[in-house]
Amino acid sequence: MKTEKTLWGTSPCGKEIYRYRITNDSGAYVELSSVGAGIVSVMVPDRNGVLGDVALGYRDALSYFGDGPCMGKIPGRYANRIAKGHFTLDGKVYELPVNNGPNHLHGGPSGFQNQVWDSREKDGGVEFMYFSEDGEMGYPGNLKAVVRYEWSEENELKLILMAETDAPTIVNLTNHAYFNLNGEGSGDVLSHELKLNASEYLPTDETLIPLGETAPVAGTPMDFVNAKPVGRDSREDFPALKYGKGYDSCWVIDGSAGETVRFAAELHSPESGRTLQVYTTQPGVQIYTGNWLEGCPEGKCGRSYHDYEGIAIECQRFPDTPNNPDYPSAVLRPGEVYHEAIIFAFSAGA
């Protein structure tokens, strides 16, 4: 395993931006950036052994600041939406910036995804650290977040997400990479086949805030218990699909959340033969089919990506958990350690 570190640019505030490449013995590699502790590239073989980049990303490091898609990065302090930009913790109401219709999204306009994280190589992996001060974007408590990436000889990308706080707060970290198993810039992913280990999902209102109850996927376009093409039912007359202009919902992963890493999702391209399996300790998985990619910064392919050219598989706490006491808690208290894992396992077959 070989790790290379290069200076990729300088942020608007003058902080150096680094890019890391971890290459295994077969030549497959991942590239990571200190902007948002993000995934820049994932170069893996197809069924014929030809390497291709299956992660969407931008050519220029500065394009990763303030982009709508949150391309490949770690959103925070709370990934996904919080209704009306407020929540109550220990009897106190906290107000957050509203940046997605009437709601708060991905930690706000100065969320973790728009920060340059400190970075280092350690024990064969790459670690990124961001210190979020008390009151930043309205969140209570000083929070230290650490994200560690490891790349294996078997083409598995493992993420460990950790955080500690000095005062009660909320935290929800995930990775927002967009995958196209035919290669970035190759067209839409609607023919990709998706399977989810989820028999229930979270219905939402028209602003994509959960209504508080789970619903069975059986008999609806939300049913991916058995693999099916992503685009097969995506234009059905169904509330979740109309609200999001395609899939942008959270599914409840079957089984008990906690320390155990569970199978969450499988994405397969019949065209390239590549398969991505996703495992996690998180209770939910947000599937977003890149419904609003149009107009994003120039991609590595030399143009802006179009809608539906990538799919994000975001393992996380449920949206708006701080306002839903029945959901698995997102509260972190002093002395506790937020510790979650996500594994993206790539393979190729006939």
- Tokens 């500690």 label which residue? 164
278 CB-near residues (< 8 Å, 6+ apart): 263, 264, 265, 266, 267, 285, 313, 315, 342, 343, 344, 345
Nearest in space to 46 (alpha carbons), one of 232, 273, 320, 198: 273
- CA-to-CA distance for 37 and 145, rounded, in angstroms? 10
Task: For residue 195, give both structure tokens.
Answer: 């399977």
Identify whether 176 is a catalytic site residue: yes
Any idea which residue has 């609200």 for tokens? 243
Within 205-347, residue ranges assigned H as helices are 239-244
**Active-site residue, from 127, 164, 266, 314:** 314
Residue labelled with tokens 């950036």: 33
Round to whole Å and give the CA distance between 170 and 322.
7
Number of H helices, E strands in the chain: 1, 26
- State the Cα–Cα distance between residues 249 and 311, nearest whole angstrom: 12
Of 71, 96, 74, nearest to 84 by C-alpha is 96
Residue 49: CB atoms within 10 A of its CB come to 9
DSSP SS3 for 240:
helix
The structure tokens 């810039």 sit at: 185
Q: Which of 106, 136, 150, 176 is catalytic?
A: 176
Judging by DSSP bridges, how do beta strands 338-348 and 178-179 pair with one another? Answer: unpaired
268 is catalytic: no
Which residues participate in catalysis according to the annotation?
A: 176, 314
